[in-house]
A and B are shown apart, each in its own frame.
Chain A
Amino acid sequence: NAGVTQTPKFQVLKTGQSMTLQCAQDMNHEYMSWYRQDPGMGLRLIHYSVGAGITDQGEVPNGYNVSRSTTEDFPLRLLSAAPSQTSVYFCASRRRTSGASTDTQYFGPGTRLTVL
């Protein structure tokens, strides 16, 4: 298994440009999430999905759009990039569990995005 993959690893955008960060997982996980990591602030949840066709907002959703048409893929779209979106972006996935148990959340390698 490749686990969670993200492309690209690095990206530089100009203000106002749009782009899509790709995320894919081959573990058949129901749950997928996008986080951003900024210095001194840890990771913050942008959007998440509990299954194909179902998405919801996290803590910092403004300026980002997501969709989940398949179990494997969960792309993150920046509609009009702003310098405040300069960050490292992580995709994560986890198997759905029930009861009192929880499963490990797997993270992708991250995408470093710079918006000029």
Chain B
Amino acid sequence: AQTVTQSQPEMSVQEAETVTLSCTYDTSENNYYLFWYKQPPSRQMILVIRQEAYKQQNATENRFSVNFQKAAKSFSLKISDSQLGDTAMYFCAFMKHVGSSNTGKLIFGQGTTLQVKP
């Protein structure tokens, strides 16, 4: 069975600074996907970034980037130039690639609450 662990329940960062959120996972699969979701106080789940395990290049989306270490089973999220609107809970998630299609079953970590301070 796959597991996802986020070891930082809470973090804070000053506005405009950089912060890194950690995520480790355990799987025996070789083909899978990893995601970071943001959940602001509105409760809406918002996809921040995703990474395909077969790609060696780390994914980036504007101020958000990941450090994907497949051998170490590590998938950290770096937020550059933090903004007040980045204040939210962040979830790391894993999805197994099943044959020629994906069932969309996500396995989530426990979440990290990020506070961006002015």
Residues of A within 8 A of B (CB): 31, 33, 35, 40-45, 48, 50, 58-59, 88, 90, 92, 94, 96-100, 102, 104-105, 107, 109-110
Return chain A residues, CB-CB under 8 Å to B6: 42
**B44 in contact (CB, < 8 A):** yes
Q: B52's contact among A33, A88, A100, A107, by CB below 8 Å, is which?
A: A100
Return chain B residues, CB-CB under 8 Å to A96: 101
Interface residues of B, dominant DSSP: loop
Q: A102's contact among B33, B43, B44, B107, by CB below 8 Å, is which?
A: B33
Residues of B within 8 A of A (CB): 4, 6, 9, 31, 33, 42-45, 47, 50, 52, 54, 91, 93, 95, 97, 100-111
CA A78 to CA B54, docked complex, whole Å: 40
CA A35 to CA B93, docked complex, whole Å: 13
- Are B47 and A105 in contact, with the CB atoms below 8 A? yes
- Are B103 and A98 in contact, with the CB atoms below 8 A? no
- Are B104 and A94 in contact, with the CB atoms below 8 A? yes
Q: B105's contact among A33, A40, A90, A99, by CB below 8 Å, is which?
A: A33
Return chain B residues, CB-CB under 8 Å to A33: 104-106
